Amino acid sequence: MVPASLQKSTIVRFIRRRSLGIFGAALPGVAARAAEGLWFRLPPVVPAPLTHSVPTVRELLGAPFEVDLRGRVVRGWSWGSGPVVYLVHGWGGDLEQMVPLVAPLLERGLQVVAFDGLSHGRSDAGAHGPRSSDAVELGRSLDAVAARFGPARAVVAHSMGALAALLAVLDGW
């Protein structure tokens, strides 16, 4: 059995950093590949316990959609009609995390569009493989969805999704 102290994230991070430093000096190519794998890997999916009733995607009577992004499929849901508001999840998240925002936006006469970025949720794996991604890829996922649904009245984003949305808006992918 592994001692509890070796399971703590700060100790694990220290060991990984030290190992990469040693490998970097002796085997730089191996260290670079290991670092890349760690950098782009999404965190494990651990559903948070719900403290209140949240409607599901299907209960909100939305329409599922798929868009192509360089031969990979980005999947999402759209609800309502009117000016478009995009919901962008964060690093390692999915559109389900944004569902509590759908009903209030619909009540304001907006069309709400949420999606799973590549390698997230129900979308295809991205360029870095399954469960691996980056902010640029999430931003490009948003851009592919926006190409289908049109200009945004607003973008509501969480954490890394905010960076991805900023990149998509500034670079106009």
Whether 159 and 76 map to the same domain: the answer is: yes
Residue 120 maps to which CATH number? 3.40.50.1820
Give the DSSP per-residue string, 2-64.
--GGGGSHHHHHHHHHHHHHHHHHH-HHHHHHHHHHHHHBPPP--PPPPSS----TGGGT-EE
Alpha carbon 126 to its chain centroid, in Å, reads: 11
Whether 85 and 164 map to the same domain: the answer is: yes
156 part of a folded domain: yes
Domains held by the chain: number: 2
The β-bridge partners of 161 are none
76 part of a folded domain: yes
96 part of a folded domain: yes
Angle at 98 between CA 144 and CA 140, to 5 degrees: 20
Whether 91 and 129 map to the same domain: the answer is: yes
Q: Which residues contact 110 (CB under 8 A, 6 or more apart)?
A: 80, 82, 83, 84, 85, 153, 154
The β-bridge partners of 111 are 84
Q: Could you read off the pLDDT tens digit of each residue along the chain, which spans 173 residues?
A: 555 554 556 776 677 677 767 767 777 787 777 666 666 676 776 555 545 555 666 667 789 999 999 999 999 999 999 999 999 999 889 999 999 999 999 999 999 999 999 999 999 999 988 888 999 999 999 999 999 999 999 999 999 999 999 999 887 65
Q: Which domain holds residue 87?
A: 60-171
**pTM (predicted TM-score):** 0.78
